[in-house]
Structure 1
Amino acid sequence: MPHPLHPDLQTLASQAAEGAGFQVCGLELLTHRIPMTLLVQLRLADGGDVSLDNCASFSGVLGDAIENSGLLQDPYVLEVSSPGVSEQLSDDRDFRSFRGFPVSIRYRDTKSGGDNEREGLLLERDEENVLLNVRGRTVRIPRPDVISVKLVTPKEA
């Protein structure tokens, strides 16, 4: 269950990020740590990668915004970072960046009604399908049927 302050912190961080040319792509409040820790992941607003200097400058901006808002009364640690590389592909940027990489696609099989999984090389994702190269053949999986797409370690032939 998310912390009750999570939505307010998310809104505050998103507003601060927008004003500074960033986009918040993850926020987590770890109250089990002493002092509690606020983890914020961000990207550049244009979708580009974030540098260490970007993280440092946004940390100051967000720290000031939190102090001025009075949302966190107890001591806390603020950690700002880039999201790094996730195994899960979710946005268009991920699909462009990992073209040609081995992936596993979990999808709903409309014929059987159950879930199925396919592995192959990611070709692309368009408006209608995710295209996969499976042993030299192009396999199209309709986007509405896709449950998840994740990077996998290539298997030896």
Structure 2
Amino acid sequence: MPHPLIPDLERLVCPLAEASGLAVQGVEIQAQRLPLTLVVQIRHADGRDVNLDDCAAFSGVLGEVVEASELMPQAYVLEVSSPGIGEELLDDRDFHSFRGFPVAVCFRDGKDAETTREGLLLERDAEHLQLNLRGRISRIPRSDVISVRLVTPTTG
């Protein structure tokens, strides 16, 4: 269950990021840590990854705004970072970046049962997701795809 302050923090963080040419990829409070940690993940608005200098610059600006808002009256650590590479492929950028990588695709087959196939990601277009399954091309209708996750390559 997300922390109850997340929506208020997102309303504070998103316009600030947008004004800085950034896009917020996630806001999380890690309450199990002492002091608790406010994690904000950012990218450039055009989809490029951020570097350490970008994170440090935004952290300074964001820290001042969060302090002034008094949303976080207790002690906390502010952590601004890039979302990095997620295990699940979500957007066009991910599918383009990981062409040729091994993936597991969970999808609905013709009988509405969930099926998983592992292969090398070839392409995702408006209609299909294409995998290389040991040299054979498999086309899965995009509307049937439930999830696509990076996997560790298997040998053999």
Amino acid at match of 1:156: T
User: What is the TM-score with the length of structure 2 in the denominator?
Assistant: 0.95
SS state at 2:59 partner: helix
Aligned to 1:7: 7
Question: Structure 1-normalised TM-score?
Answer: 0.94
Aligned to 1:155: 154
* 1:95-110 matches, cutoff 5 A: 95-109=95-109
CA RMSD across the alignment: 1.1
User: For 1:155 and 1:35, how far apart are their aligned partners in 2?
Assistant: 41
- For 1:9, give the aligned amino acid: L
How far off is 1:31 after superposition? 2.1
Task: Tell me by how many angstroms 1:143 deviates.
Answer: 1.4
Name the counterpart of 1:38: 38
Aligned pair 1:132/2:137, yes or no? no
Q: Deviations over 1:15-59 (max 9, x none)?
A: 111111111111111223222110111111110011000110010
Residue number in structure 1 paired with 2:57: 57
Q: Quick one: percent identity of the two aligned structures?
A: 60
1:112 aligns with 2:111: yes
CA gap 1:156/1:32 in 2 versus in 1, 3 angstroms:
closer
Partner of 1:92: 92
Distance in 2 of aligned mates of 1:130 and 1:57 = 39
Structure 1 segments of 4 or more deviating over 3 A?
A: none
Deviations 1:105-141 (A, max 9, x none): 00111x2221000111101111111111112222111
- Secondary structure of 1:65's counterpart equals helix
Q: Please tell me the residue identity of whatever aligns with 1:10.
A: E
Unmatched runs of 5 consecutive residues or more in structure 1: none
Q: Secondary structure of the equivalent of 2:23? A: strand
Deviations 1:60-83 (A, max 9, x none): 111111122221111211001111
Per-residue deviation, residues 82-115 of structure 1 (Å, max 9, x unmatched): 1111111111100000001111100111x22210
